[in-house]
Amino acid sequence: MPEAVKTILKKIFSLALIFNALISIVTVAGIIHGYYRSYPHWQPYEPFLVNGNLFWFALAAAAINIFHCAAIGRVLHTGRFLFHHYVYGIFVIVIASIYVVFFTPVSLLSLFFVDDISIAVTIGRVFLLGGIVLLLDDLPDVSKRIETSLNWIKYKACQVKMTLHITQFITGIFAFYCSLSILFSTIQNSTRALPNSFVIVSLFITGITSLIFVKRRSWLNITPPKPKQPKLFVGQSHAQ
């Protein structure tokens, strides 16, 4: 298989993992929102899920995974067509936002918190998340200030890499547990099989991905960002 094809496939794989992490975040956020609004009258997915607050661990697992999912594709040199990826991401976000505002019955702010699986609303969610994926994938190139901030975060992460390693393992286990709890609850009561299927699959992938990153010691292997050489000395280094 040509190297260019492998690179493109790896890039698509990276984007798919980021997309899955975002699906986990928004679906779990919707469940947590409903849980607190209905508390204590609704205990989600009982008796299989011990407590609804455990979804916070699943949400954290997805958020932590984004760092490594994006890193998979960020080291690949796929080039760009006309613009950086983030330009297309912003464009998709804007178009999707306009679509949601004018062509769906829900507001943009409540898009991921309403219990609506209609085709129109689902399309809005998918394209909005797709735009965010492209933006996150190319986030360091948006501005020097954002790149500096991300490097600072990475530097701080290197100082607590063991804590992050353990946290990823624990949250990944809970994401996997939440996925199984929803699965068993859905088997028992199949009236919400379709909407629950998205959460089940997404959290399952999030949990498995977390454990794979733990096995690969991804957090333990990260290194601090290299300081950039001042432009004044760039030409001199090349000359040497």
Domain boundaries, the chain: 3-80+141-225, 85-137
Q: How many whole angstroms separate alpha carbon 119 and alpha carbon 44?
A: 25
Would you say the C-alpha torsion 187, 192, 197, 199 has a positive or negative sign? negative
Q: What pLDDT, on the 0 to 100 scale, is given for residue 8?
A: 79
Q: What pLDDT, on the 0 to 100 scale, is given for residue 238?
A: 46
Q: How many whole angstroms separate alpha carbon 232 and alpha carbon 238?
A: 12
Q: How many whole angstroms separate alpha carbon 215 and alpha carbon 165?
A: 10
Q: What pLDDT, on the 0 to 100 scale, is given for residue 233?
A: 45
Residue 215 sits at the vertex; the CA angle it makes with 211 and 216, to the nearest 5 degrees, is 115
Consecutive H or E run containing 96: helix 85-103
Q: Alpha carbon 95 to chain centroid distance?
A: 21
Closest by CA position to 70, among listed 83, 86, 55, 90: 86
Q: How many whole angstroms separate alpha carbon 16 and alpha carbon 129?
A: 11
Q: What pLDDT, on the 0 to 100 scale, is given for residue 79?
A: 56
Closest by CA position to 27, among listed 48, 55, 53: 55
Q: How many whole angstroms separate alpha carbon 200 and alpha carbon 130?
A: 20
Task: Tell me the pLDDT of the chain (240 aa) as tens digits.
Answer: 577 677 778 888 889 999 999 999 999 999 999 999 888 888 899 899 999 999 999 999 999 999 999 888 765 555 555 557 788 999 999 999 999 999 999 999 999 998 888 999 999 999 999 999 999 888 887 888 888 888 899 899 999 999 999 999 999 999 999 999 999 999 998 888 888 999 999 999 999 999 999 999 999 998 887 766 555 444 444 444
